[in-house]
Amino acid sequence: MTPLRVMAIDDEALALRRIEIAMSRVPDVELIGTARGGREGLELVEKLRPDVLLLDINMAGFGGFDVVDGLSAANAPLVIFITAFDQYAVRAFQVSAVDYLLKPLEFERLRSALDKARTTLRLIDAEDRAAELKELVTTLRQHRATDHEPSRYETEIWAPRGCGFERVLVADINWVEAERDYVQLRTGARSYLIRETMSGMESRLDPEVFIRVHRSALVRIDRIGSIRRPGYGRFSLQLTSGEEVPVGRTYVKQIKKLIGAGTGEQEPEPERQLLTARA
């Protein structure tokens, strides 16, 4: 069987590396080239003429849709989009010969998409593929124009683990703790050490979801089980994971705002009083 000639365009080095690893596990395919940007990638497509193009949609500057606009209809490869689009937009792919892969890339899903591509290449000529591709891109552009602006905050963080990296979903993080020039992402069962400042991490996380409670701690609001008040002007947070996080004096006002307390300070009731958080 003639190997399927595949090229990949993605502006994230880690994403390209994952594609390279995945491709090495798929028989009868050959990764003939990669590019870290849309313009560079389009030039490489014209030069290498791949059978299949793995194309990231959301690239800075010259994006995936711009690459599609520049493809020659007579020699257009079959495109497999790499996308983070929601399920509404994904339905547009499901009625098309063009396929898609959701990030983070799953190896078995890539294998399935390449199998589909091999069959499609035998059944549909290049010009018909190009026309269908342009129509699909028009639909996706319309969806993106009417969709809400994507959040600028992180939904996942890649943390060093062993000889590589591990994806940590922000939704799994209970709290973040500073550790000198690093921060610990604490998920309950595991923690991940990454090189970042607390200020830098605070700017990456949605302030509607995470609250700074100490110069060394950020806490996910919906993980706060109770708020302890052991003494005058002192607070600590009991997380649903069982962990306890102290509240710095300069952050007490934020905690009072969180539970709807007044600004006037009162003597506490018996020590270790529990206040229920409205999380």
Mapping DSSP to helix (H, G, I), strand (E, B) and coil, where does residue 191 land?
strand
Cα-Cα-Cα-Cα dihedral sign, residues 40, 56, 6, 18: positive
Q: What is d(CA 122, CA 93) in angstroms, rounded to the nearest whole number?
A: 19
> Exposed, middle or buried, 228 (CB in 10 Å: 0-12/13-18/19+)?
middle
CA 258 to chain centre: 28
**What does the pLDDT profile of the chain (279 residues) look like in tens digits?**
789 999 999 988 888 999 999 999 899 999 999 999 999 999 999 999 999 999 998 888 888 888 888 887 777 888 898 876 655 455 556 546 567 887 778 888 899 889 988 888 887 776 777 777 777 777 767 666 555 445 568 888 888 888 888 889 999 999 999 998 899 999 988 999 999 999 889 988 988 899 999 999 999 999 999 988 877 768 899 999 899 999 998 888 888 887 774 434 443 444 444 444 443
* Contact present, 141 and 88 (Cβ < 8 Å): no
Lookup: tokens for 136: 């699909």
Strand segments (E) across 151-190? 156-161, 164-169, 175-179, 182-186
Q: What is d(CA 31, CA 90) in angstroms, rounded to the nearest whole number?
A: 25
* Structural domains of the chain, with CATH: 4-146 (3.40.50.2300), 156-275 (2.40.50.1020)
Q: What is d(CA 268, CA 171) in angstroms, rounded to the nearest whole number?
A: 34
236 beta partners: 228, 246
Q: What is d(CA 110, CA 31) in angstroms, rounded to the nearest whole number?
A: 13
Global pTM value? 0.51
